[in-house]
Amino acid sequence: MHSPYLSAGQAHSRRGFLCALGGAAMLRPAASAGRFATRGVVLIPEDLTLPDWPARAKQSGLTTVALHHSRSVFEVIKFVTSDAGQEFLARSRRLGLEVEYELHAMSELLPRWMFEEDKSLFRMNEKGERVPDWNLCVHSARALEVASENAVAIARLLRPTTSRYFYWGDDGRPGCRCGKCRELSDSEQALLLENHVVKALRRHDPRAQLAHLAYSTTLAAPRQVKPEPGVFLEYAPIARRYDIPYAEQMEGRDGLANLDANLRVFPAATAQILEYWLDVSRFSRWKRPAVKLPWNRDVFLADLRAYAARGIRHVTTFACYIDADYVKQHGEPRAISEYGAGLCETMWGLP
């Protein structure tokens, strides 16, 4: 039986069709031969009410599905350990898809209840008060140790097939403003923590790599702290525009110049772009019912060219709220296959 999801990829080009089919190895050149190595989507467990998501991803030429959450890492752990989660993992494995976990994990790395035991673990706000609201104090050796221990504990439950780990800080929230931490930007505070955590992860998984999320308060490139081996850049310009190509948005809060600055600190070869091209949740302002995705293929392809020209070989996008209800309300999301076809084709002919 022919899958209805192949037609869009086939319409774009022969290459896109072959990529969507997941054809023979001779038809699937490696990243070094002109190919994005990671071609992914990031979903929340609720999106898997669309039960054929893994098949759609594979048929669109994608390599990777990552799980995210709405509120807590425990949502992902609960899903993965359920029957539905185990079936998702098994189906992904059968299809040859990689599975990763992209998580705002600070409340799990440093549980908030520990504030009553030791306030010095937690951040200081602008008023000079220790508070248990967001992130931690990166000049607390104990806080770094607890966070690293819990990162390994989570890794035992949520082990990515790629050995790439994503433990982000609290979503867009400030870092510590104590006398020592205030000399570091939020980006530098995040990197200092990541440098500590990656060493612990590598004792658990020698191949471990850990993402440094450049996003919102951490979008600016770090200057005073350098990444340890195994820490790679993940760049997520959430405040950019999607009606014009990113290359035309050099300046501003989430301008492309921020990526260039980060690529002077982190290697382009391991850097990953985390985009929002398919993120219905963003365009719905994180409220349901979901709006129809305002997909712009021309902007997407222009963005890919800009990223590829900078040596980026790993690309993923949030695709949250593309679930069973979305398909029922708005019809088949053709953008998934066009996204996959673009990732399969755009790199051809580049070194």
Residues of the chain with pLDDT > 70, as a percent, come to 89
Residue 19's pLDDT band (cuts 50, 70, 90) = low
Could you give the CA distance from residue 347 to residue 340 in angstroms, rounded to a whole number? 12
* Per-residue pLDDT at 3: 33
Q: What digits encode the pLDDT tens for the residues 170-199? A: 999 999 999 999 999 999 999 999 999 999
Backbone torsions φ then ψ of 168, nearest 5 degrees: -90, 160
* Per-residue pLDDT at 35: 73
Mean pLDDT of 258-266: 98
Say if CB 316 and CB 304 are below 8 A apart.
Answer: no
The β-bridge partners of 209 are 164
| H/E element, 110 | none
Q: Where are the domains of the chain?
A: 4-345
Could you give the CA distance from residue 22 to residue 95 in angstroms, rounded to a whole number? 10
Residue 212's pLDDT band (cuts 50, 70, 90) = very high
Residue 311's pLDDT band (cuts 50, 70, 90) = very high
Q: What digits encode the pLDDT tens for the residues 28-66? A: 334 444 579 999 999 999 999 998 999 999 999 999 999
Residue with tokens 């996204």: 339
CA quadruple 180, 172, 266, 261: dihedral, nearest 10:
-90
The β-bridge partners of 272 are 234, 314
Task: Share the mean pLDDT of the chain.
Answer: 90
CA angle 344, 42, 312 (to 5 degrees): 45
301 class by beta-carbon count within 10 Å (0-12 exposed, 13-18 middle, 19+ buried): middle
* Per-residue pLDDT at 345: 83
For residues 328 and 18, the model is more confident at: 328
107 class by beta-carbon count within 10 Å (0-12 exposed, 13-18 middle, 19+ buried): middle
Residues of the chain with pLDDT > 90, as a percent, come to 87
CA-based nearest residue to 102, from 210, 176, 258:
210
Q: Supply 186's token pair.
A: 């939020």
**What is the value of pTM for the model shown?**
0.90
Residues 6+ apart with CB under 8 A from 51: 324
Q: How far is CA 308 from the centre of its chain?
A: 18
CA-based nearest residue to 217, from 247, 246, 253:
253
Say if CB 280 and CB 290 are below 8 A apart.
Answer: yes
- CATH code at 4-345: 3.20.20.80
Q: What digits encode the pLDDT tens for the residues 94-106? A: 999 999 999 999 9
* Per-residue pLDDT at 145: 98
Could you give the CA distance from residue 107 to residue 118 in angstroms, rounded to a whole number? 15
DSSP state of 171: T
* Per-residue pLDDT at 169: 95
* Per-residue pLDDT at 15: 42
Could you give the CA distance from residue 9 to residue 6 in angstroms, rounded to a whole number? 6
Helix intervals (H) in 81-185: 83-95, 106-109, 141-157
CA quadruple 256, 258, 260, 261: dihedral, nearest 10:
170
